[in-house]
């Protein structure tokens, strides 16, 4: 969504399009995201060639209906032919690829092939945004199990215990990914961007683990990565 907004010069909200450009002033100084989208934005000459890592997720977890009525305990349970699965759609290739790769590494490529055949692709209220879609599908009983990053599954289960529950996947953190922040080329608001970066990097290492992210080492946090 962020990449599309910046490459397409606009943010669409229904029939309203908000211009996203330097001329309008509605334009970022800092962009946060995974390595793949940041590389895409650098290639388009939108952000600089370097970015700094500030968080790492804990890989995937499972979201099930409140009370876990089907007794889902592990990824092996997803192989049951009656289990319906929901995860990031094709419109979110980065997250979807990470989930598929983690499944293949955990239960094997052949076993993983059966999961998309039982994937709930369409249902009322689907937006193409996993942060909303997975919970919606579980709450509406349109799917039995949601595959989603641990911090999101943990948040949903804690916030909506009457709707869903969390199932932690053993060893999932081996298939985690990082999030980094990069500055746009020719900053519009240099002072503000510098001040924000200093503040954010000063607190993020302690704050993010409180909300389901992994705790990072001193060497890992703030690491500069090349986007070229």
Same domain (yes/no): 168, 117: yes
Beta strands in the chain (DSSP E): 10-13, 16-19, 30-33, 47-56, 60-65, 85-86, 145-149, 164-167, 178-184, 224-226
> In angstroms, what is the C-alpha Rg of the chain?
19
Region of 221 on the Ramachandran plot (φ > 0 left; ψ -120 to 50 alpha; else beta): beta
114-166 pLDDT, tens digit per residue, is 999 999 999 998 988 999 999 999 999 999 999 999 999 999 999 999 999 99
At 138 the pLDDT is 98
At 80 the pLDDT is 95
At 51 the pLDDT is 98
216-226 pLDDT, tens digit per residue, is 999 999 999 99
At 92 the pLDDT is 86
Helix (H, G, I), strand (E, B) or coil at 40: helix
Query: Which residue, 70, 35, 59, is CA-closest to 169?
Result: 59
Same domain (yes/no): 113, 145: yes
Within a 10 A sphere around the Cβ of 209, how many other Cβ atoms?
16
Two tokens, residue 206: 């302690």
Same domain (yes/no): 190, 111: no
pTM, full prediction: 0.89
Same domain (yes/no): 143, 194: no
Q: Which residues contact 117 (CB under 8 A, 6 or more apart)?
A: none
Average pLDDT, rounded, for the chain: 95
Same domain (yes/no): 65, 168: yes
Q: Is the pLDDT of residue 102 over 80?
A: yes
Same domain (yes/no): 83, 119: yes
26-47 pLDDT, tens digit per residue, is 999 999 999 999 999 999 999 9
| pLDDT class of 93 with cuts at 50, 70, 90 | confident
User: CATH number for the domain including 81?
Assistant: 3.40.190.10
Same domain (yes/no): 222, 145: no
Same domain (yes/no): 25, 38: yes
At 14 the pLDDT is 84
Strand partners, 172: none
Choosing from 148, 174, 200, the residue where a domain stops is 174
At 182 the pLDDT is 97
176-201 mean pLDDT: 96
Helix (H, G, I), strand (E, B) or coil at 68: coil
Burial of 184 (0-12, 13-18, 19+ CB in 10 A): buried
DSSP letter string over 88-112?
Answer: --TT-HHHHHHHHHHHHHHH-HHHH
180-192 mean pLDDT: 96
Helix (H, G, I), strand (E, B) or coil at 9: coil
- What domain range is 18 assigned to? 2-56+177-226
At 118 the pLDDT is 95
At 13 the pLDDT is 83
203-210 mean pLDDT: 97
Helix H or strand E segment including 195: helix 190-207
69-82 mean pLDDT: 96
- Counting the structural domains of the chain, the total is 2
Same domain (yes/no): 38, 132: no
Choosing from 174, 191, 212, the residue where a domain stops is 174
Same domain (yes/no): 92, 192: no
Same domain (yes/no): 48, 71: no
Q: Is the pLDDT of residue 94 over 90?
A: no
Q: Is the pLDDT of residue 9 over 80?
A: no
192-215 mean pLDDT: 97
Choosing from 158, 174, 190, the residue where a domain stops is 174
Same domain (yes/no): 87, 140: yes
Within a 10 A sphere around the Cβ of 66, how many other Cβ atoms?
14
At 181 the pLDDT is 98
Q: Is the pLDDT of residue 12 over 90?
A: no
């Amino acid at each position: 969504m962020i990449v599309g907004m910046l490459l397409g010069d606009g943010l669409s909200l229904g029939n309203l399009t908000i211009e996203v450009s330097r001329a309008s002033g509605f334009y970022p100084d800092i962009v946060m995201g995974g390595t793949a989208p940041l590389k895409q934005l650098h290639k388009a000459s939108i952000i600089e060639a370097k970015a700094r890592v500030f968080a790492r997720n804990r890989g995937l977890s499972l979201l099930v209906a409140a009370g876990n009525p089907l007794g889902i305990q592990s990824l092996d349970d997803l192989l049951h032919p009656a289990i319906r699965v929901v995860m990031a759609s094709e419109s979110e290739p980065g997250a979807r690829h990470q989930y598929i790769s983690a499944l293949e590494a955990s239960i094997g490529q052949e076993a993983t092939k059966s999961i998309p055949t039982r994937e709930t692709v369409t249902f009322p209220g689907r937006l193409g945004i996993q942060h909303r879609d997975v919970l919606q599908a579980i709450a509406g009983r349109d799917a039995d199990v949601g595959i989603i990053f641990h911090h999101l599954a943990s948040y949903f289960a804690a916030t909506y215990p009457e709707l869903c529950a969390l199932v932690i996947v053993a060893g999932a953190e081996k298939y985690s990914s990082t999030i980094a922040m990069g500055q746009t080329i020719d900053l519009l608001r240099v002072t503000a961007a510098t001040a924000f970066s200093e503040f954010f990097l000063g607190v993020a290492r302690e704050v993010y683990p409180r909300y389901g992210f992994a705790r990072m080492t001193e060497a890992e946090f703030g690491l500069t990565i090349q986007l070229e």
